[in-house]
Amino acid sequence: MAEYESVEQAAQRHQEYPPLDNDLSAHDFQRRRVRSSVQFVRAGDRMLEVACNTGYVRSYCPQASEIHGIDINPKLVEVAATRLTSAQVALAEAIPFPDKSFDIVNVSGLLEQVFDPDPIMRECARVSRRSVVGNTTHEAGCWGKHRTERHQWQSRSYSESEIRAVLEKIGRIAVLGTVDINSNPPEPQCWFFHVLVDSSTAAGGGK
């Protein structure tokens, strides 16, 4: 993953991305990673899950919430459509919803897979009325910079200054924390975040 990929190249490659249900069943860390971002979802919220995979996030959100999803992988979307309110094939860089369609947008496990996260975050902020939440890899973790060049899917990881720089472009950071491997001392593996959307920064043409 040392070379730069275009959005189109990355989308084509990720059409083979695997389902993550087995990882969630086998690893407590992965379940805590998912919960780290969806803890901000309220009962009654309308949420968009960007890179929704199989729609597994449904079981981690309040039952009264309405969850929609997009993903680039048609096979995963087919499964997600049986779990979520709706699911469709779409690029995260071109979310097919009008401005402010959702209370909250979750973008988890995706920012580490692209070379330029800014177009994705602008789109997430554009379609959110309240906030953007998510998680992504920590540079000090086992998916850190030392793994990037030989990782099948990952393009990058983030230091604190790098993830803050990405998030501050779309609004005010309400929460920025880490999900750690249970060790002594704890080892951070990923960042989780909650950003209150700045409507002036996120404004854009509806789709």
pLDDT tens digits along 28-74: 888 999 999 999 999 999 999 999 999 999 999 999 999 999 999 99
Q: Could you give the C-alpha distances from 91 to 114, 144, 173, in angstroms and in order?
A: 12, 25, 25
As given in the structure block, the two tokens for residue 167 are: 């998030």
User: Is the four-CA dihedral 118, 124, 129, 135 of positive or negative sign?
Assistant: negative
Per-residue confidence (pLDDT) for residue 140, from 0 to 100: 75
Average of per-residue pLDDT values in the chain: 87
The CA distance from 88 to 103, in Å, is: 19
Domains of the chain in start order, with CATH, are: 7-201 (3.40.50.150)
What global pTM score does this model have? 0.88
**φ, ψ dihedrals at 113, nearest 5°:** -100, 5
Q: Provide the pLDDT for residue 93.
A: 96
Span 63-98, pLDDT tens digits? 999 999 999 999 999 999 999 999 999 999 999 999
DSSP 8-state assignment for residue 113: G
